[in-house]
């Protein structure tokens, strides 16, 4: 069974749409690429999971966060399929950290994390690697910001405001 079939098997009980390069919005996929949009029950595109194959690589896009996977590496295929399952079942979420600048939030970090590593944890714990950089830590301390945790089950979403010089 090839990767495409494994992905379809993983999402078979979900509502999804397959996009190809002949669609205006997806022209960049060209002839051999495709994007599978797993539609969230909210109906909002921003809540959907996109699984893309383009130029020999896979990518997951969810809630403004993405990760790439190289199918030649068996481990990457395993991680891709696991990440799809974990995101769709809300065992993994998209995390983003923003700092305020001119009353507009600017993203300083994003990625996928396990729900257990986010829920009930302090912002310092969740973003510990970001805060190892004094420059990035100072941006949050001086400007304030926001941490977003976005799940496929949107009832689990969380947005935490970060006051200037007063992080949790």
DSSP string, 69-117: E-TTSHHHHHHHHHHHHHHHTTSEEEEEEEEEETTEEEEEEEEEEEGGG
Number of structural domains in the chain: 2
* 64 and 22 fall within a common domain: yes
Number of residues that make up the chain:
168
Burial bucket for residue 8 (CB in 10 Å: 0-12, 13-18, 19+): middle
Q: How far apart are CA 137 and CA 80, in angstroms?
A: 31
Q: How far apart are CA 69 and CA 47, in angstroms?
A: 21
Phi, psi of 13 (to 5 degrees): -95, 5
> What pLDDT is attached to residue 104?
82
Q: How far apart are CA 141 and CA 61, in angstroms?
A: 29
Asked whether residue 168 is assigned to any structural domain, the reply reads: no
Q: How far apart are CA 108 and CA 125, in angstroms?
A: 16
* 82 and 20 fall within a common domain: yes
- pLDDT (tens, 9 = 90+) of the chain, 168 residues, equals 699 999 999 999 999 999 998 899 999 998 889 999 999 999 888 999 999 999 999 999 999 999 999 999 889 999 999 999 999 999 999 999 999 887 788 899 999 999 999 999 999 899 998 888 988 889 899 889 999 999 999 999 999 999 887 544
* 80 and 116 fall within a common domain: no
> What pLDDT is attached to residue 165?
79
pTM (predicted TM-score): 0.90
* 23 and 61 fall within a common domain: yes
Half-sphere exposure (CA, 13 Å, Cβ side) for 119?
A: 11
Asked whether residue 167 is assigned to any structural domain, the reply reads: no
Which of 107, 100, 124, 111 is CA-nearest to residue 61?
A: 111
Which of 135, 134, 146, 64 is CA-nearest to residue 103?
A: 146
| Alpha-carbon separation of residue 33 from 38, 76, 83, 100, 139 (angstroms) | 16, 18, 20, 37, 39
Residue that terminates a domain, selected from 88, 119, 146: 88
* 97 and 83 fall within a common domain: no
């Amino acid at each position: 069974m090839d990767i495409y079939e494994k992905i379809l098997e993983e999402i078979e009980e979900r509502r999804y749409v397959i996009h190809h390069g002949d669609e205006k919005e997806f022209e960049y996929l060209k002839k051999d690429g495709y994007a599978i949009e797993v539609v969230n029950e909210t109906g909002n595109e921003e809540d959907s999971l996109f699984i893309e194959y383009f130029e020999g690589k896979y990518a997951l896009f969810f809630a403004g966060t993405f990760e790439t996977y190289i199918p030649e590496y068996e481990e990457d295929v395993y991680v891709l399929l696991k990440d799809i399952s974990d995101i769709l079942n809300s065992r993994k979420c998209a995390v983003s950290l923003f700092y305020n600048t001119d009353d507009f939030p600017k993203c300083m970090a994003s990625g996928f994390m396990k729900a257990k590593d986010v829920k009930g944890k302090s912002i310092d714990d969740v973003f510990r690697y970001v805060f190892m950089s004094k420059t990035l830590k100072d941006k949050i301390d001086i400007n304030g910001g926001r941490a977003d945790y976005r799940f496929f089950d949107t009832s689990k979403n969380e947005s935490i405001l970060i006051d200037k010089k007063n992080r949790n």
